[in-house]
């Protein structure tokens, strides 16, 4: 795909969404790169066509096999060497880049956590709230006043009842 785009200036299949592009990969024939870039040799066109064949068995067996075939096609093919695209691809073939691993420093081990943090020696006392004593006192006072009114009402009702009896 990348080589196709490098020599033609466009991707082999275009679409609105990824699924549309994937469907085109499976169903539409590849436009030969030479149709878009006539400066390519028929040999380069065949190598790219084989690399992008829909049938896996028709493709190159390895990257090395593909690179070797492409180099040979570029070296023996009749290519317009003045083409900017051809010059870029040929230069990339002359000076291949070797991928190197990234050096990553190991992460130091975490510092030990002091036992006092995990298991404190004495339990901490929770702070007392100042308003809870007043709330208790108000509840008791309300209960006493309510009881007094209730008994006063019962006593008054009992007196009225007793006063009516013969």
- The pair phi, psi for residue 109, each rounded to 5°, is -65, 150
For the segment 57-107, what is each residue's pLDDT rounded down to a tens digit? 988 999 899 888 888 888 876 555 555 655 666 666 666 666 666 677 888
What is residue 101's predicted lDDT score, i.e. its pLDDT? Answer: 66
Structure tokens at 86: 């051809």
Residues 6+ apart with CB under 8 A from 88: 6
- Checking if the pLDDT of 163 tops 70, the result is no
SS3 category, 52 = coil
What is residue 144's predicted lDDT score, i.e. its pLDDT? Answer: 93
What is residue 143's predicted lDDT score, i.e. its pLDDT? Answer: 92
Structure tokens at 101: 């691993």
CA distances from 127 to 73, 117, 122 (A): 84, 20, 15
**Residue 20's pLDDT band (cuts 50, 70, 90):** confident
Section 4-11 average pLDDT: 84
What is residue 142's predicted lDDT score, i.e. its pLDDT? Answer: 92
Measured CA to CA, the distance from residue 52 to residue 71 in angstroms comes to: 17
pTM: 0.46
Q: Which residue has the higher pLDDT, 130 or 19?
A: 19
For the segment 117-162, what is each residue's pLDDT rounded down to a tens digit? 666 666 666 666 666 778 888 899 999 998 888 887 777 776 666 6
Q: Which residue has the higher pLDDT, 116 or 142?
A: 142
For 84-103, b/e burial (b = at least 16 CB within 10 A) is ebbeebeeeeeeeeeeeeee
Helices (H), the chain: 2-8, 18-27, 33-36, 42-51, 63-76, 84-94, 115-118, 132-164
């Amino acid at each position: 795909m990348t080589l196709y785009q490098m020599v033609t200036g466009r991707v082999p299949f275009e679409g609105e969404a990824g699924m549309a592009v994937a469907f085109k990969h499976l169903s539409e024939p590849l436009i030969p790169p030479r149709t878009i870039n006539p400066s390519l040799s028929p040999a380069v066109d065949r190598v790219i066509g084989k690399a992008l064949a829909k049938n896996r068995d028709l493709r190159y067996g390895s990257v090395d096999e593909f690179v070797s075939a492409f180099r040979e096609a570029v070296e023996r093919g009749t290519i317009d060497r003045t083409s900017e695209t051809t010059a870029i691809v040929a230069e990339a073939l002359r000076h291949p880049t070797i991928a190197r691993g990234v050096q990553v420093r190991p992460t130091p081990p975490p510092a030990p956590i002091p036992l006092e943090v995990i298991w404190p020696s004495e339990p901490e006392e929770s702070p007392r709230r100042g308003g809870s004593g007043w709330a208790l006192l108000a509840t008791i006072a309300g209960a006493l006043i309510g009881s007094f009114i209730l008994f006063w009402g019962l006593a008054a009702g009992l007196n009225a009842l007793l006063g009516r009896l013969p």
